[in-house]
A and B are shown apart, each in its own frame.
Chain A
C-alpha cells in the first residue's frame, strides 16, 4: 500500500512538472517578454538590460526554468503585466474566493440532485423514473456547459426575467452558474450512485433487513445507501478537480469574477505571469484530485494494485 501511494505520488509530481515545463516553454516560445511589455522606442537600452538581469532573462534557458520552478514552488510567479504593481499570485488569490463560492454551490447542487436521483433510479430500476434518470444522465453529458449557460440565461433572465443575467451578487446570481457547472457532474454522480446502489440492493444483508421488517425507506436510505456511498465518495475528488477547470467556461458565460475569468482575460492581455499562476495552480488541484481518488480507490478496494 505504501509503495503504491509512493508510486502514485511520484507520478502526480511528474505530471505537475510536465505542466510546468509545458507552461514555461510555451511562454518562452512567444519571444522576449520584455519586448511585449515595454513600449518601443522610448526606453533606454540600459533600463532593459537592468530589467533583464533583475528577472533573470539573461541566463541560459535551463537555469531560467530552475528559477521559475523555484519561485513557483514558493508561490511567486512574478508581477502581473496587465495590472502593474500586483503580483500574479495576489491576483489569483483575490479572485479565488469567488471561484470557491461557485464551486462550493455547484458541489452542493450536485449532491442534492445527483445522489437522490441515483438512489431512486436504482430502486425503481427499469421504471419510469429510471428512464427519466437515464435521459438526465445522457443530456447532462452531451450538452456543453456554455450552451447550457446561454440557454438558461436566455430563458430565466431574458425571457422570464426571474434571475439576473450575470455578474456576482446575492444568492440569485449564484443559481444559474452553479447549476450550469453542476449538471455534467450530476449526470456522472447519478450513474455512479445508481450502479453502486444496484449492487448493494442485491446483497444478502439487504434481504435480511427486509425480512426483519425494517421499513422500506429505512432499508434503502440508511442500510443500502450507506454501503453504496463508497464509490461515489471517491468520485467527489474528481468532481472538485473538474469544477476548477469547468469554471473557466462558466465564469466567462456569466461574467463571474473568479479565477477562470481571470485566466481568459489574461490570455487577451497576454499577461503571462498571471496565466502561468492560474494554469499551474489549476492543474495542480486537478492532479491532486486525481491522486486522492486513486489512493481512496486502492484503500477501499484492495483488489486495485496497479504496480
Chain B
C-alpha cells in the first residue's frame, strides 16, 4: 500500500470519522463521572471549610465596594456629550452642563480624562464601572457582599438543607414503607392512601402558604421537603418489601421465633439498603433545586443568608448592569445539580442495576 492510498481510505471520509468518534464517546459512557466528581469536590470541600477558605463575610458587605465586577472584568468608560438640555431618549449618552461642571470641580474620580473643558458639545469621559479586583474574585452584590464567599457559604447551606431533608424523609418514608409492605392489610391501605395524597399535592404552593404564615425560614424548607419526599421512599420501599416478604429466609426467621420488629430491622432493611441509597442520591439534585427555587421566590431561606436562590433573586433586577450578581450563582446551581444527577445515575448503575427505572 502506497502512502497516497491512505488519503483515499474510507476512514478519512468525514461521515465515517464522525461515526467512529461517536463510537468512542459511547464506549466512554462513564466518562462524565470524572468531571462531576471533580466538580462536587470543588463544591463540597470549600463548603465544609467555608470559615477557613472564604475571604470575606457571607452576610456583611462593604458599602464602598458595591457592585464590583469579577476580577477579570475591566473598567467600563462611558462617553457623554455635554448638552444644555438632556434629551429624554438619549439621556444615557448626554449630561447637563451644570452637572458636568459640578462633577469636574469635585473631582470624585469618575471623570477620567479630557474633563477640564466643560463646554457644550464636548465629550466627557466618565468611569461608569470600576475594574474588578482580586480582592473580590467573583465581584460583589448591591450590598457590597463578596459573591465568592457567599457562594461557598451557600454551598454549605444547600448541602446541609438537602442532606438533612433527605435523611429525615428517608428514615420516615422507608420505615413507613417497610411497615406497609410487611404488615399489609389496613395499615398498608392507610399508609398508601397517605402516599397518594402526598404525591398529588403541589409542593411550591404549600411552601408559599407556609412562608406567608411563618415568614420565610430554613425550617419551612425542611418541613416542605420532609412532608412530601417521604412518600417517594414509602412507595418504592413498600413494593420491594412485598417482594422480599415472600422469600424463604423471612419465613424461616418467623419460624425461628424472631419478632416482627427484629425481622423488619435485621432481615428486611439490610436488603433494601442499596435501593434506599440509590433513591436518596437521585433525590439530592431535586431537593437542591427545590430549596433554591423556594429561596428565589422569597419563600425559603430568609435574607441575608447566603442561599444560592436568594443570590439569583437579588441580581434579577440588575441583570443589565451587573450580570455577575445573578449569573454566577445560576451557573453554580446548574453545574452542581448536573454533576449530582450524573453521579446519581452512576450510583444507580453501580449499586442497583435492576432498578434502572427509578
Contacts and interface: CB of A to CB of B under 8 A. Distances in A.
B323 A158 contact: yes
A158 B319 contact: yes
A190 to B, nearest CB: 16
Nearest to A274: B212
Interface in B1-50: 18, 22, 25-26
A233 interface: no
B272 to A, nearest CB: 22
B209 A22 contact: yes
Contact of B200 (A128, A139, A267, A286): A286
B337 A283 contact: no
Contacts of B297: 248-249, 252, 264, 267
Given A23-B209, A142-B338, A249 B204 contact: yes
A267 B212 contact: yes
Contacts of B246: none
A56 interface: no
B177 interface: no
A245 B26 contact: no
Nearest to A244: B202
* B201, B205, B206, B337: residue with the most chain A Cβ atoms closer than 10 Å: B205
Interface stretch (A7-15, A101-109, A175-183, A220-228): A7-15
Interface string A82-107: 00000000000000000000000000
Given A266-B212, A283-B205, A286-B200, A147 B319 contact: no
B197 A282 contact: no
Given A150-B319, A154-B319, A264-B297, A143 B334 contact: yes
B197 A165 contact: no
B211 A267 contact: yes
A138 B339 CA distance: 11
Interface stretch (A25-33, A62-70, A197-205): A25-33
A282 B193 contact: no
B303 to A, nearest CB: 12
A162 interface: no
Contact of B208 (A19, A131, A158, A279): A279
A253 interface: yes
Interface string A17-51: 01100110011011000000000000000000000
A217 interface: no
Contacts of B261: none
B319 A283 contact: no
B247 interface: no
Interface string B208-252: 111111100000000000000000000000000000000000000
The secondary-structure label for the interface of chain A is: helix
A165 B289 CA distance: 23
B202 A282 contact: yes
Given A154-B319, A264-B208, A146 B293 contact: yes
A249 B205 CA distance: 11
Contacts, number: 137
B90 to A, nearest CB: 17
Contact of B320 (A142, A165, A264): A165
Interface-central residue, A23, A131, A154, by most chain B CB under 10 Å: A154
Interface in B78-107: none
Interface residues of B, number: 45
A15 B214 contact: no
Interface of B is mostly: helix
A138 B319 CA distance: 27
Interface stretch (B134-142, B164-172, B262-270, B325-333): B325-333
A278 interface: yes
Contacts of B22: 128, 131
B197 A11 contact: yes
Contacts of B292: 144, 146-147
A275 B209 contact: yes
Interface string B187-210: 000000100110111111110111
Contacts of A14: 193, 197
Nearest to B289: A144
B312 interface: yes
B298 interface: yes
B130 interface: no
A272 interface: yes
Given A15-B201, A142-B338, A30 B196 contact: no
A267 B323 contact: no
Contact of B197 (A18, A139, A150, A272): A18
* For the complex of A and B, 7 pairs with smallest distance between CB atoms: A245-B202, A30-B213, A267-B212, A144-B289, A279-B205, A147-B330, A15-B197
Interface of B: 18, 22, 25-26, 193, 196-197, 199-206, 208-214, 285, 289, 292-293, 296-299, 309, 312, 315-316, 319-320, 323, 326-327, 330, 333-334, 337-338, 341
15 contacts: A22-B206, A26-B209, A26-B210, A27-B209, A30-B212, A30-B213, A144-B292, A146-B312, A150-B316, A154-B323, A157-B319, A249-B297, A263-B208, A267-B298, A286-B200
Interface of A: 11-12, 14-15, 18-19, 22-23, 26-27, 29-30, 126, 128, 131, 138-139, 141-147, 150-151, 153-154, 157-158, 165, 245, 248-249, 252-253, 263-264, 266-268, 270, 272, 275-276, 278-279, 282-283, 286-287, 290
Given A23-B206, A147-B292, A245-B202, 6 more contacts: A126-B26, A142-B341, A143-B334, A146-B309, A267-B212, A287-B201
